[in-house]
Amino acid sequence: MRVNRTHRPRDYRLFGKTARGMNGQGAKPRTEFHRHAVPYEAVHRVAWVEDLRLPSCHPRKPGIDAAGAVKYGSSRTCRSVTRILLSRHHRRDLSTVAPGIAMAASDGIVTEVPNMYPKQIMDALLRSRPDWLTQADKYGGDVLLLEFAERIAHDCTVEDWILGTGSAEPAIAAYLDYLRCAKARFRQVKSSMGYWNTRASHSLQHDKWSVGWAGDELMPLANYLYVVKSFGAAGDCLECGAFKGSSTACLSYVCGELGMKLYCADSFAGLPSAEGHYGAGDFVGSRAEVEDNVKKCGNIESVHFIEGWYRESLRGFAEPLSVIWMDVDLQQSVIDVMENVFPNLVPGGVIFSDGVTERDMTADGRLLFTGGEPAGFCRFFQDRAVDARAMLAGPKGLVLILPRPQDTPWLRTYPHRLQYLLDRL
């Protein structure tokens, strides 16, 4: 790390070691930057941010960028940082950054922990394993050491704890039963609904098989429906894009278990227009066909169908929503949906979409104008100055979008860890 020669020497506390900011010979000043080295000034708190990025900035003025990254003047990325000392000046800043931090309290000290599990799980974790969260005696006073952060981000210690504690904690047992039943039902839908689509028309034959989203790849939605409800997001689920009804059947089951309504919006006449490799009329599934599949494989009592093109059919939609699930393929279709239902998303509500990969977003989760669904979200959010963030949530281009990150600063996705948990149920 290079600093301007006019800057005075700085002390960096390397957890017991000290490095000087001058080389002592009058040449261009340098500082030795260690991944655990931070300015030792007015330090009162230890926190941790997942996948820490340290972009270049003034070494005298550490700060936090919009993605939750702490800036200390290094251009490299540190992925295994477990301890970051933040000065008193940044106490409020840390609580407002997003995405990927969860609020947790221990011994009266509030800190942030990345989280993808229900509130009841985090409460049980704090009760059962406070040693994972705080060792303030190491630094004394008002300092919190978040040793737990390394575990919650990079391995499956939490999942092993959940699996091992389930029988002793009713809340955890109920959550695991929910996931176990959802996984079995989703797999059943995927196997029983599979048939060749005689009306396939897509240029790449992506619609030749009747099953779209189902099975394990849809389990992140089942998980987050449970999670957002546990944190108090009081709303229902809207699905846009049903195809033959495989995802509708899956979601109808979990929505029924959670006491939520599932609104299924579709033209039931295929895509409205051509875009990219999609053609007008692709992915058609009649309403009668979708309803029949949901009756056979799902819970039809939980579903309310909304038929028509989104621009007209969702106009005037007034139901509160905690989760919006979109598989609409086209840029304009995303905009048509969002213009009508985005105001219905309750605080803490989230959006899921398919068709988004890592190349469709920046490193801090802002969606790019790359075509299709990502471009639709990008246009909508930019036109309305909405600072939404996206993160990959599973396979097949599944992405979780936080339209108001300040409402859900605790929410994060770890697909490999969720799959680890599901594999052991």
For the cut 90, the answer to whether the pLDDT of residue 299 exceeds it is yes
- What residue numbers bound the domain in which 81 lies? 11-151
For the cut 90, the answer to whether the pLDDT of residue 75 exceeds it is no
Average pLDDT, the chain: 75
CA geometry: angle 115, 120, 124, nearest 5 deg: 90
> Which alpha helices (DSSP H) does 269-370 contain, by range?
287-297, 310-313, 331-341
**Does residue 330 sit in the same domain as residue 212?**
yes
User: Residue 130: which pLDDT band, with cuts at 50, 70 and 90?
Assistant: low
Instruction: State the average pLDDT over residues 308-335.
Output: 97
Q: Tens of pLDDT along 353-373?
A: 999 999 999 999 999 999 999
Q: What is the largest CA-CA distance in the chain?
A: 82
Spatial contact of 202 and 282, defined as CB atoms under 8 Å apart: yes
| The last residue of a domain, from among 151, 181, 205 | 151
Residues 6+ positions from 250 with CB-CB distance below 8 Å: 182, 185, 186, 189, 213, 214, 218, 222, 298
Spatial contact of 139 and 145, defined as CB atoms under 8 Å apart: yes
For the cut 60, the answer to whether the pLDDT of residue 67 exceeds it is no
2 is a domain residue: no
Q: Which amino acid is at 132?
A: W
**Does residue 200 sit in the same domain as residue 312?**
yes
**Does residue 418 sit in the same domain as residue 304?**
yes
Instruction: State the average pLDDT over residues 64-70.
Output: 34
**Does residue 147 sit in the same domain as residue 170?**
no
Query: β-pairing, 321-326 with 345-353?
Result: parallel
**Does residue 125 sit in the same domain as residue 229?**
no
Spatial contact of 302 and 252, defined as CB atoms under 8 Å apart: yes
156 is a domain residue: no
**Does residue 257 sit in the same domain as residue 388?**
yes
User: Residue 30: which pLDDT band, with cuts at 50, 70 and 90?
Assistant: very low
- Quickly tell me which residue has 């799959």 as its tokens: 419
- pLDDT, residue 132, reads 61
**Does residue 82 sit in the same domain as residue 189?**
no
Question: Tokens in use for 335?
Answer: 């905009």
157 is a domain residue: no
- pLDDT, residue 114, reads 58
**Does residue 39 sit in the same domain as residue 62?**
yes
Number of domains the chain contains: 2
Question: DSSP code of 146?
Answer: -
**Does residue 62 sit in the same domain as residue 133?**
yes
**Does residue 181 sit in the same domain as residue 282?**
yes
159 is a domain residue: no
- pLDDT, residue 149, reads 52
Cα torsion 99, 407, 96, 144 to 10°: value is -80
- pLDDT, residue 372, reads 95
**Does residue 187 sit in the same domain as residue 58?**
no
**Separation between Cα atoms, residue 178 and residue 90, nearest integer Å:** 39
Residues 6+ positions from 61 with CB-CB distance below 8 Å: none
